[in-house]
Structure 1
Amino acid sequence: MPKDIDTRLDAATATVLAEISRTDAKSGVLLTAFSLPLAALVAAVPGKPLPGLSAVFVATGAVGLVAAMLVVLIVVRPRLAGHARGSFLYWSLCTTDELLADLDAPTDRAAHVVQLAQIARRKYAGLRLAGDITAVALVALAAALLTALI
């Protein structure tokens, strides 16, 4: 490959790896953020009589928060299938000689960038879904608050 392509592939790999790292960091922040209103619900709601409509909204909001947390956990859950050549998962199954042979073989760096980009895209799609679910849950909780006050 021409040197310019090597430089651009290095930059693309670094960019995609940074995006994957960002999704994992965002996931940690989201799990913390989702747990706060859920903890408040668990502390405040049990044993308290709620009007029918408020109870429905509280239940909907709580289920939504739990669902969003599960989606985020799926985002950060490691995928251990698909042992592509040149990956640490592939190397974990190699003997020392197989590892050395793999490292000595030419690699398809562009395919590696595409594979990493697909991982990042899946992670971002999961975060987006978790955000959408959370928005619905928060609207339901706000509606519960309003119906309880009325």
Structure 2
Amino acid sequence: MDTTTDSAAGEGARQHTAGRRDAQHLDQAQASVLAELGRTDAKAGALLAALALPLAVLAAALPGRSWPPAATVLMTLGGVGYALALLLVLVTVRPRLPRSARASFHSWADLNPEELPAALEAPTEQAATIVMLSRLTRTKYRALRVAIDIAAAATVLLAAALFTI
């Protein structure tokens, strides 16, 4: 019995199993990041709707009426705050996938059908894409948090304006 051959075969099997396990972990990580990215977009969509309503009310209520100066200033600042928050959310939902994301639909669109299987088996590129998508998701969450903070401050300003009328 040749122990060198047996140990080499065993090592090869362990590497194959480890490689398959690593690929599964990459697939799970990518699915997790994509799900989180989808959640940020859903939150941004809800926030867009929530911010549009007060802006519409302000656009209808402010022009052509005589308001006390303090109320006018507070409503204007509140309206500007809502507009800034809305703009930040719009920037957040704007698609921005760089062409360098090789393990995504963006790069697959440039491939021939024969080239796709090789592109799908590149774990290094998949790992780079997971990192890129994770950073994108984190940036979107931060932007949404800032937009919510701005909208909250704008709501306080509008509520204060009501007390000056």
Match of 2:94 among 77, 80, 89: 77
- The residue type paired with residue 106 of structure 1 is A
> What is the identity, as a one-letter code, of the residue corresponding to 2:137?
A
Equivalent residue in structure 2 for 1:47, among 64, 89, 93: 64
Q: Which residue of 1 aligns with 2:4?
A: none
Note the 1:8-87 alignment, pairs <5 A: 8-87=25-104
2:5 corresponds to which residue?
none
Q: Alpha-carbon deviation of 1:94? A: 3.9
Distance 1:59 1:73, change over 3 A: same
Shift of 1:111: 2.3
Query: Gaps spanning 5+ residues in structure 1: where?
Result: none
User: 1:80 offset after TM fit, Å?
Assistant: 4.3
Query: 2:34 & 2:103 partners in 1: Cα distance?
Result: 15
Look up the equivalent residue of 1:133 and give its one-letter code: I
Pair 80,113 (structure 1): closer, same or farther in 2 beyond 3 Å: closer
Q: Which residue of 2 aligns with 1:107?
A: 123
**RMSD, aligned CA:** 1.9
Once residues 29 and 85 of structure 1 are traced to their aligned partners in structure 2, the CA distance between those partners, rounded to angstroms, is 31
Query: How many Å separate the matches in 1 of 2:83 and 2:111?
Result: 40
Distance in 1 of aligned mates of 2:25 and 2:106? 25
Q: State TM-score, norm by structure 1.
A: 0.87
Point out the structure with max Rg over C-alpha.
Answer: 2
Q: Aligned to 1:50, what secondary structure does the other structure show?
A: coil
Output the CA distance in 2 between the equivalents of 1:125 and 1:75: 9
How is 1:112-127 mapped onto 2 (pairs within 5 angstroms)?
Answer: 112-127=129-144
Other-structure match for 2:164: 147
The 1:126/1:89 distance shift into structure 2, 3 A limit, reads same
Q: Which moved more, 1:3-12 or 1:66-75?
A: 3-12
Structure 2 residues without counterparts, runs of 5 or longer? 1-14
Match of 1:91 among 105, 108, 115: 108
1:41 counterpart letter in structure 2: L
Q: Report 1 or 2 for greater relative contact order, CA contacts < 8 Å, sequence distance ≥ 6.
A: 1
Q: Which residue of 2 aligns with 1:6?
A: 23
Percentage identity across aligned positions?
Answer: 48
